[in-house]
Amino acid sequence: MSFDPALIPLFLALGAITGFLAALLGIGGGIIYVPVLTFMLPWLTGNGDDFIRVAIATSLLVVLLSSISSSLANLRAHNVHLPLLRRALVSGLIGAFIGSQFGTLLPAALLKISFALLLFYVGYRLMASAGKPEYVDGEDILDWRRVFPISAFTGLITSTFGVGGGFFSVPAFNQWCHISLRKCVGTSSTMIFFNSLMGVFGYLLGQSITGLPLIRYDIAIVIAIGAMAAAPLGIHLLGKVNLSLFRRFFALLVFASAINLLVH
């Protein structure tokens, strides 16, 4: 199944706008892709009630493709805390595979409600960090009792909802493991690649209720191209724009998306 080529500019624009905002605000694009795709898929494919599931799986592939360049860049810049990554990798992959099974098996209505609640949480985090966020600094704590639950839960939400999960893992690793913020961001971006890879594999094993594959590869590839093209602009503008204002404005959009999912 493919979409009208006339829609390519629309999906490129979706990827570009989301990639720019994701890089500028330090968030994953999935919180934008999933609500937009959930709205657009009925228009593209006709009747059905499994669109939230297809939107999540497709978003996860976009997250995977978009994370390749950021992971490599952070590795080259020595922004990845390798001992933390080694400890977090296995539990993150386990959580990601379980999350993909949740995404495949949970009722569509429950997925919608759960994703809306996740959006409310992300909106709250954006509002809370719009001022001057406090970050912990100190000696690294790599106790598995702290690392395992953080990485496992990050993998779980990555695959269940088709999002990166950095909005949870970055502050959690910083505050609970005392990893520097720069290393938290770099390590989380690399974790996103591995978690989303496992999640995509899990979704490849499932089908939508219509019997069609859960991942729309055509849509995902076009969106990812737009996202990767625009992300450097967001990175370039870091520190040059009023991030506090951007975060508050974007938080309002996230809240509106959550309400729209619940209403429809």
For residues 103 and 175, what is the distance between their CA atoms, to the nearest angstrom? 29
Distance of CA 167 to the CA centre of its chain: 9
pLDDT range class, residue 206, cuts 50, 70, 90: confident
If one compares 243 and 147, the residue with the highest pLDDT of the two is 147
Average pLDDT of 88-112?
94
Average pLDDT of 239-243?
72
Contacts of 72 (CB under 8 A, 6+ apart): none
User: Does the structure show a pLDDT above 90 at 213?
Assistant: no
User: Does the structure show a pLDDT above 60 at 47?
Assistant: no
Say what the pLDDT of residue 209 is.
53
Give just the sign of the alpha carbon dihedral 187, 191, 194, 200.
negative
Say what the pLDDT of residue 240 is.
75
pLDDT digit string (tens) for 242-256? Answer: 778 878 888 888 899
pLDDT range class, residue 134, cuts 50, 70, 90: low
Say what the pTM is: 0.88
User: Does the structure show a pLDDT above 60 at 1?
Assistant: no
If one compares 227 and 27, the residue with the highest pLDDT of the two is 227
Residue 1 lies in a domain: no
Judge contact between 37 and 54, C-beta under 8 A: yes
Q: What is the largest CA-CA distance in the chain?
A: 55
Say what the pLDDT of residue 249 is.
83
pLDDT digit string (tens) for 19-30? Answer: 888 777 767 789
* Helical pair 108-128 and 243-263, crossing angle rounded to 10 deg: 160
Residue 2 lies in a domain: no
Q: Into how many domains does the chain fold?
A: 1
Q: Which of 57, 70, 54 is nearest to 193 (CA)?
A: 70
Say what the pLDDT of residue 237 is.
77
User: Does the structure show a pLDDT above 70 at 132?
Assistant: no
User: Does the structure show a pLDDT above 80 at 16?
Assistant: yes
Q: Which residue has the tokens 């570009």?
A: 16
Residue 13 lies in a domain: yes
Say what the pLDDT of residue 29 is.
85
Domain extent, residue 204, equals 7-263
Residue 172 lies in a domain: yes
Say what the pLDDT of residue 130 is.
62
Distance of CA 82 to the CA centre of its chain: 22
Residue 250 lies in a domain: yes
pLDDT range class, residue 51, cuts 50, 70, 90: confident
Say what the pLDDT of residue 238 is.
63
